Amino acid sequence: MSIIKIYHNQRWSKSRESVKILENSEHEYEIVDYMNKPPTPKQLESLSRKMQISAREFIRCREAIFRDLNLKPHLDDDDILFKHMSKYPQLIERPIVVKGDKAVLGRPSERVCDLLDS
């Protein structure tokens, strides 16, 4: 059984809910503190493929930094979004839970249960 990874921010309730789900499962897991050690653009691209979604689907568009960087015109350019998400990790929607070659955005947290059951 592979170790589950969760890209987690303790400050946010959805992220804490996903950690609780992992704690109550029989799975080993590792917490990735993405705010202090942000994923590289390549790692974000890999997460995107595993979740089968584009960058625009897990970038936080309501963050002030999103507006400050004028990213709205670039929502269809994954490379630009990944670069900025790596530099400004507060732009990354969370939590992201990874199991092998699959991943889910834990919003709603039931998606984490579905991933663990797969």
Kindly report the length of the chain: 118
Report the range out of 9-13, 39-43, 106-110 with the highest average pLDDT. Answer: 39-43
Give residue 1's pLDDT band: very low, low, confident or very high (50, 70, 90): low
CA contacts within 13 A on the Cβ side of 25: 18
Query: 3-class DSSP state for residue 89?
Result: helix
How does pLDDT run across 13-71, given as a tens digit for each residue? 889 999 999 999 989 999 999 999 999 999 999 999 999 999 999 999 999 999 999 99
Whether pTM > 0.85 for this model: the answer is: yes
CA distance linking residue 81 with residue 44, whole number of Å: 10
